[in-house]
Amino acid sequence: MFKRIILASSSPRRQKILKTLFENFEIVIPQIEEIHDDDAIHTVEKLALLKALNVFDKVKDAVVIGADTVVEIDGTILGKPKDLCDAESQLCKLLGKWHSVHTCVAVVSWGEMWLKTQTARVKFRKVPKEVVKYYAQNYSLGKAGSYGLQDFGGVFVESIVGDPYVVIGLPIADLWEYFYRKGWWSSETKRTDDEGWF
């Protein structure tokens, strides 16, 4: 087992997911500017890697996990909303339509970088404007596309094609497989008090 595992994220949902894999890990918030370019896949891969590298540059003796998620609809990237008005606008764009959620996980350790990107397709149902407003005011900030599958945002979702953990923001199976193949995960590292999402 590697000496230190660090999650380069301030996201509570990513922290909760990682707790299902490892009993002990540290959280260090990366200091990067999250700038989106025109290509959604390139954006998530660049930002996930930048987050991991930014933290690894400070610690060097650890395995650092970075991740990034964006929502894409009709070729437009929806990142984290700037404010409540932006959150409502993003949610309204998604109502009744299919969209893509792209998540990349980057793992950086001494002498190695690993990236894995996955896409899930999500269809939103139509909901009343009051529900959009309620959600935006209480849940949207800090979430790509202004929603999260793991909270009340699940009421928006009519259908998902792909891994739900891509939508939540940290594909647990991909991450586990990487750590398992490297010999950095065993049943002894797994928590016994994990709750899961579903």
Q: What is the pLDDT of residues 84-119, one digit of tens each?
A: 999 999 999 999 999 999 999 999 998 899 999 999
Q: Which long-range contacts (CB under 8 A, 24 or more apart) does 86-93 make?
A: 86/146, 87/136, 87/140, 87/141, 87/146, 88/132, 88/133, 88/136, 88/140, 88/146, 90/140, 90/145, 90/146, 91/132, 91/135, 91/136, 91/140, 91/146, 91/147, 91/156, 92/132
Residue 131: inside a domain, yes or no? yes
Residue 171: inside a domain, yes or no? yes
Residue 197: inside a domain, yes or no? no
- Total Cβ atoms within 10 A of residue 87: 25
CA 141 to chain centre: 14
**How many domains are there within the chain?**
1
pTM equals 0.91
Residue 78 structure tokens: 């929806």
Residue 142: inside a domain, yes or no? yes
For residues 55-61, give the mean pLDDT: 92
CATH number at residue 122: 3.90.950.10
- Domain carrying residue 139: 5-189
Residue 194: inside a domain, yes or no? no
Residue 135: inside a domain, yes or no? yes
Residue 138: inside a domain, yes or no? yes
Classified as helix, coil or strand, 121 is: strand
DSSP state of 102: E
Query: CA angle at residue 112 from 36 to 52, to 5 degrees?
Result: 35
Instruction: Give the active site residues.
Output: 68
Q: What is the pLDDT of residues 160-175, one digit of tens each?
A: 999 999 999 999 999 9
